[in-house]
Each structure stands twice: as C-alpha cells, then as structure tokens.
Amino acid sequence: MMPDPSNCTTDRRRFLQTVTGVLTGVLGSLSPLAALVPSRSWALELHALSSADADTLLAAVQTIAPHDGLDAAAYALVIGALDADAAGSAETRALFSGALASLGPAFATMPEAQRVEQLRAIESGAFFQSVRLKTLLVLYNNPIAWQYFGYQGEAFSKGGYLLRGFNDLKWLPDVPAADSGPLPMA
C-alpha cells in the first residue's frame, strides 16, 4: 500500500521542524559560554603554558582578585586569555615562564598571606601588571562573574536603568519631593 503523498509532505515538514529545534538546542548548549556555566568542574585547553604554570597563574589571579564563592570557571577565562597572549608572542611567553619560575611550583599551594607577599614583591614588574590588567579586563567582563555579583548586564537594550529598579534602594531614606527635582518622565 502506497502512503498518501500529502501526508508524507506534512510528516516530512514536521520531522524537519523537530530536527531543527533539537539541533538548535544542542548547538546552543555546545557554545563556548555554555561550556563554562558555573559548575564544579571545567577544562581548559592550554596552548603555551604547562598545567603547572596554569595552576600557579590561577593562584596568582585568585590572589589578585579574591572572591570567595566565585566559580573557578570565571578565573579559567582569565587563564585562557593569558595563555592566548603567551601563545601569540614569544616575548610574552618568556616573560611568563621566567616570572612563574621565580614564583616557584609551591606558589599555588601556599597560604594566601604568603602569596600576597610574593606578589607584592613583583607588583611593579611587567608580569604582574600584565596579569593584573588581563584579570580586570576578562574576569569582570563575563556573565559568570556578572551573575555572582548580581549584575544584570547592560541596560541600554532593556530601556535603561531608570525604569528597571535604579531608585529602589531600600537602605536609603526617602528624599522629600521638594528636594527631588523634576521627574524625567510624566
């Protein structure tokens, strides 16, 4: 018995819609950012640094910008950016190798106070300044850290901050209406 061609077209169309929806979901979940969502484990492919160097660098970054409870994946983004810098320049790779060797292999396991002392000793150098700058640029510019700090992202595309709870600070006293000034909108 031959199937009705009109049913085959509808079934094929429904099948393609289903497959397209499933593929969209799978591809969306495989995006690089989805791979770094807060979790207990993460992996980072290194191109220029060794695993020991990455561990030392991770301890340095966590000492420069310590945030208890911030997922390690947010710090991994910084290590990835520093590794990319080292892979892109022989000069940077040599700078990182020398500085990480001077910190020593035990740096990552030292108590925080000792790590701070060691980093203070080199804070005026090129290595520390480049790691500090990259930490500031990468760590605080990713959605993992934004979620941790409660930042909802930029507000321009959502109509701005004024109508999104900008003035709902419960810990400040109410300003008298006479001192408030004109309202920006009617």
DSSP-derived secondary structure for 79-148: HHHHHHHHHH-HHHHHHHHHHHHHH-TTGGGS-HHHHHHHHHHHTTSHHHHHHHHHHHHHHTSSHHHHHH
Closest CA to 144 of 29, 38, 28: 38
Confirm whether pTM is higher than 0.75. no
Measure CA 38 to chain center.
Answer: 10
* Domain spans in the chain, listed from the N-terminal domain onward: 51-149
Per-residue pLDDT of the chain (186 residues; tens, 9 = 90+): 555 555 555 565 555 555 444 444 443 444 444 444 444 456 789 999 999 999 999 999 999 999 999 999 999 999 999 999 999 999 999 999 999 999 998 999 999 999 999 999 999 999 999 999 999 999 999 999 999 998 888 888 887 776 676 666 677 777 788 887 777 665
Confirm if 61 and 100 have CB atoms less than 8 A apart. Answer: no
Say what the pLDDT of residue 75 is.
96
